[in-house]
Every structure is written in structure tokens, then in C-alpha cells.
Chains A and B, each alone.
Chain A
């Protein structure tokens, strides 16, 4: 099992550009999440999904969009990138009805200049 994989590892964007952060998990988890971590801060939930076709906003959804067409994939879309979106982005997944452990990917470090 590869677990949760994220691509790319690093990316630099110009203000106003858009991009998609990819996330894939091979554990057949129903639940998937996107977090961002700013320097010196904890992780903040951007969006989450409880299954294919179902997504919902987290704490900081503005400027982002998600889709969940399959159980495995949960891409995060940034439209009109802004410097405030400079952060490290983590994707995670979990099975419901277990001990609430979330499995995290290695992260994508995004810089918007």
C-alpha cells in the first residue's frame, strides 16, 4: 500500500494562476480531507468528503474547490492564486466508525508570488 500520495511536492505559482493539487489513496477510505498548514500554525481544514460525489466546506474554504468523483481521488483546485494561499497542503483519509485516525500524505509546498 502506498497510503496517501500527493503531487506535486513543490510548486511556485504567480498571482492569478490556477492549479490542481492531486491526492490519491489506496486504502479504500471513504473519508478524505484537505488541510493547510501555515508557518507556526496548526492544520486547518479546507474541505472534506465523506464519499464519492459528496463534499463539504471546512474551516477555510475560500479560494478553493474540490471534487470527489472516485473513492481514491480528491483533487484540490486553486483558482486565481493569491499570496495568502502560500502554505503547505496536506491531504488525509480515514475510515469512518474506527478510532478516528486520519492518514496523511507527505504534503505539497505551494508558494504564490
Chain B
């Protein structure tokens, strides 16, 4: 039973355009959401997070939106750059603001940004 779903295995966009990566979750106890980025042969690196008390969090070119009623979040990258090409994982936890020791990950979306 997948509690965090990334239904698009891959996404291809042109450099300079917007990339939108989507994530759905089923567990209503999740209250903290994170996006990780992973390059081949490297470990995931943290990108951005959002607490369930917010509906938007922005960090430079990266913005995460949370729609709690739909149990849906999305990561927007504007403008997209070739260096953004990587696998993006959505992750969720149920311990907002405190110690998180159980992240549930989606399967990931491979983003390719074409020059």
C-alpha cells in the first residue's frame, strides 16, 4: 500500500520553462512533507519542505504547494535549468516540527531539463 505516490515516473521540460512535479498521499496523519533531489551514484539531498500548517513554501527557484484537502503537493521549479536534471523524491512524515525518524518516500520522478 503506497502512502506517498508520484504518478509520473518522468518529466521532460525545456530550459527556462517551469517544471511541476506532483505528489499525492493517502495517510491523513502526515503533517510534514519534504522534497529530495538525487543525482546518479549519489545520495539524496534535501531540497525544500513544508509543514501542514502552510500551503506554500518558497526557496529561490523552488516552491512547494500543499493542498491538504486534496492530499496533494507539488514542486515548482522556475526557471528550470539543465543542472536540475535529477530524480526528485517526495517524502512525508507524521512528526512535524520535532524529531523525524520515519520518512515515507514516493518512487521518484526523473526530471530532464533540455538545453
Instruction: Identify the A interface with B (CB < 8 A).
Output: 4, 31, 33, 40-45, 48, 50, 58, 90, 92, 94, 96-97, 99-107
Contact = CB atoms under 8 A, between A and B. Distances in A.
Nearest to B38: A104
Interface string B85-105: 000010101011011111111
Contacts of A31: 99, 101
Given A96-B99, A100-B32, A90 B43 contact: yes
A31 B26 CA distance: 26
Interface stretch (B44-52, B64-72, B74-82): B44-52
B103 A45 contact: yes
B46 A102 contact: yes
Contact of A41 (B34, B42, B107): B107
Nearest to A91: B43
Contacts of A58: 102
A101 B46 contact: yes
Interface residues of B, number: 28
Contacts of B102: 45, 48, 58
A58 B105 CA distance: 13
Contacts of A96: 98-100
A94 to B, nearest CB: 7
Contacts of B104: 42
A43 B44 contact: yes
B21 interface: no
Contacts of B36: 104
B107 A100 contact: no
Which of A40, A43, A101, A105 has the most chain B CB within a 10 Å cutoff? A43
Contacts of A99: 49
A81 B55 CA distance: 45
Nearest to A50: B101
A33 B104 CA distance: 13
